Amino acid sequence: MSRKSNFQLYRVWDGIIQRCYNPNAKNYHNYGGRGIKMHDEWKNDFSSFEHYCLNNGWRHGLHVDRINNNDGYYPNNIQFVTVSQNMRNKRTNHLISYKGKTKCAIEWCEVFNIKPSTLWRRLNSGWTIDEAFTKPIQRRKNGR
Protein backbone atom coordinates (compact mmCIF):
# COMPACT_ATOMS: atom_id res chain seq x y z
CA MET A 1 0.00 0.00 0.00
CA SER A 2 1.17 3.50 -0.66
CA ARG A 3 0.84 6.36 1.76
CA LYS A 4 -2.03 7.69 -0.34
CA SER A 5 -4.02 4.50 0.17
CA ASN A 6 -3.95 4.95 3.95
CA PHE A 7 -3.41 8.63 4.57
CA GLN A 8 -4.59 8.59 8.20
CA LEU A 9 -2.02 5.97 9.16
CA TYR A 10 0.63 7.85 7.18
CA ARG A 11 -0.14 10.98 9.24
CA VAL A 12 0.20 8.92 12.45
CA TRP A 13 3.58 7.60 11.27
CA ASP A 14 4.78 11.08 10.29
CA GLY A 15 3.63 12.48 13.65
CA ILE A 16 5.65 9.84 15.49
CA ILE A 17 8.71 10.67 13.37
CA GLN A 18 8.30 14.38 14.15
CA ARG A 19 7.81 13.86 17.91
CA CYS A 20 10.76 11.47 18.17
CA TYR A 21 13.33 13.03 15.82
CA ASN A 22 12.55 16.70 15.17
CA PRO A 23 13.81 18.94 17.99
CA ASN A 24 11.61 21.74 16.62
CA ALA A 25 8.41 19.69 16.99
CA LYS A 26 5.96 20.90 19.63
CA ASN A 27 6.11 17.72 21.76
CA TYR A 28 9.69 16.65 21.04
CA HIS A 29 10.62 17.19 24.72
CA ASN A 30 8.07 14.52 25.73
CA TYR A 31 9.30 12.00 23.16
CA GLY A 32 12.67 12.32 21.43
CA GLY A 33 13.89 14.56 24.23
CA ARG A 34 13.23 11.70 26.66
CA GLY A 35 14.88 9.13 24.39
CA ILE A 36 11.69 7.74 22.83
CA LYS A 37 12.56 6.29 19.42
CA MET A 38 10.89 4.33 16.66
CA HIS A 39 11.82 0.87 15.38
CA ASP A 40 14.47 1.53 12.69
CA GLU A 41 12.67 -0.49 10.02
CA TRP A 42 9.47 1.52 10.58
CA LYS A 43 11.30 4.83 10.82
CA ASN A 44 12.87 4.31 7.42
CA ASP A 45 9.92 2.71 5.65
CA PHE A 46 6.29 3.72 6.07
CA SER A 47 5.07 0.60 4.26
CA SER A 48 6.76 -1.60 6.90
CA PHE A 49 5.00 0.34 9.68
CA GLU A 50 1.71 0.20 7.77
CA HIS A 51 2.03 -3.55 7.19
CA TYR A 52 2.67 -4.20 10.89
CA CYS A 53 -0.25 -2.03 12.00
CA LEU A 54 -2.76 -3.46 9.54
CA ASN A 55 -1.79 -7.01 10.46
CA ASN A 56 -1.96 -6.40 14.19
CA GLY A 57 -5.33 -4.74 14.73
CA TRP A 58 -5.08 -1.11 13.62
CA ARG A 59 -8.14 0.26 11.85
CA HIS A 60 -9.38 3.71 10.95
CA GLY A 61 -10.14 5.73 14.09
CA LEU A 62 -7.74 3.95 16.44
CA HIS A 63 -4.65 5.53 17.97
CA VAL A 64 -1.19 3.99 18.14
CA ASP A 65 -0.39 3.78 21.85
CA ARG A 66 2.81 2.73 23.60
CA ILE A 67 2.16 0.08 26.26
CA ASN A 68 5.21 1.16 28.27
CA ASN A 69 5.36 4.96 28.09
CA ASN A 70 9.07 4.93 28.85
CA ASP A 71 9.88 2.79 25.82
CA GLY A 72 9.64 3.59 22.13
CA TYR A 73 7.48 2.67 19.19
CA TYR A 74 8.53 -0.95 18.68
CA PRO A 75 6.79 -4.23 17.91
CA ASN A 76 5.34 -5.60 21.16
CA ASN A 77 5.26 -2.10 22.71
CA ILE A 78 2.44 -0.63 20.68
CA GLN A 79 -1.25 -1.29 20.79
CA PHE A 80 -4.22 0.20 18.97
CA VAL A 81 -6.74 1.93 21.18
CA THR A 82 -9.63 4.38 21.14
CA VAL A 83 -9.10 8.03 22.06
CA SER A 84 -10.62 7.38 25.49
CA GLN A 85 -8.30 4.45 26.16
CA ASN A 86 -5.30 6.44 24.96
CA MET A 87 -6.04 9.28 27.35
CA ARG A 88 -5.81 6.86 30.27
CA ASN A 89 -2.28 5.80 29.34
CA LYS A 90 -0.48 9.10 29.80
CA ARG A 91 2.40 9.58 32.17
CA THR A 92 0.84 12.89 33.26
CA ASN A 93 -2.28 11.17 34.60
CA HIS A 94 -2.93 11.50 38.28
CA LEU A 95 -3.14 8.06 39.83
CA ILE A 96 -5.21 7.68 42.97
CA SER A 97 -5.19 4.64 45.23
CA TYR A 98 -8.44 3.92 47.03
CA LYS A 99 -9.44 0.79 48.93
CA GLY A 100 -6.55 -1.20 47.49
CA LYS A 101 -7.09 -0.22 43.84
CA THR A 102 -5.18 2.32 41.79
CA LYS A 103 -6.81 4.10 38.86
CA CYS A 104 -6.34 7.38 37.07
CA ALA A 105 -8.52 10.20 38.41
CA ILE A 106 -10.86 10.21 35.42
CA GLU A 107 -11.64 6.51 35.94
CA TRP A 108 -12.52 7.14 39.59
CA CYS A 109 -14.77 10.01 38.49
CA GLU A 110 -16.62 7.59 36.23
CA VAL A 111 -16.92 5.02 39.02
CA PHE A 112 -18.40 7.55 41.46
CA ASN A 113 -20.26 9.61 38.86
CA ILE A 114 -18.62 12.88 39.77
CA LYS A 115 -17.11 15.56 37.55
CA PRO A 116 -13.31 15.84 37.51
CA SER A 117 -13.62 19.51 38.51
CA THR A 118 -15.64 18.46 41.57
CA LEU A 119 -13.04 15.86 42.56
CA TRP A 120 -10.13 18.33 42.24
CA ARG A 121 -11.98 21.11 44.05
CA ARG A 122 -12.70 18.75 46.94
CA LEU A 123 -9.16 17.38 47.13
CA ASN A 124 -7.63 20.85 46.87
CA SER A 125 -9.91 21.96 49.72
CA GLY A 126 -8.41 19.31 52.01
CA TRP A 127 -11.03 16.59 51.72
CA THR A 128 -9.88 13.01 52.17
CA ILE A 129 -10.08 10.77 49.13
CA ASP A 130 -12.94 8.86 50.73
CA GLU A 131 -14.88 12.09 51.34
CA ALA A 132 -14.14 13.41 47.85
CA PHE A 133 -15.49 10.25 46.26
CA THR A 134 -18.45 9.46 48.49
CA LYS A 135 -19.99 12.65 49.90
CA PRO A 136 -23.15 13.61 48.03
CA ILE A 137 -22.88 16.57 45.74
CA GLN A 138 -24.67 19.58 47.23
CA ARG A 139 -26.89 21.33 44.72
CA ARG A 140 -27.19 25.10 44.99
CA LYS A 141 -30.63 26.56 45.63
CA ASN A 142 -30.66 28.28 42.25
CA GLY A 143 -30.59 24.83 40.63
CA ARG A 144 -26.95 24.79 39.60
Query: What pLDDT shows up at residue 89?
Result: 67
C-alpha 66 chain-centroid distance: 9
**pLDDT digit string, tens, across residues 3-16:** 456 789 999 999 99
Give Cβ neighbours of residue 119 (< 8 Å, ≥ 6 apart): 105, 108, 109, 132, 133
Domain residue ranges of the chain, discontinuous segments joined by +: 3-87, 95-134
Query: Residue 21: pLDDT band by 50, 70, 90 thresholds?
Result: very high
Task: Render pLDDT for 48-103 as a digit per residue (tens, 0 to 9).
Answer: 999 999 999 999 989 999 988 899 999 999 999 987 677 666 666 788 899 999 88
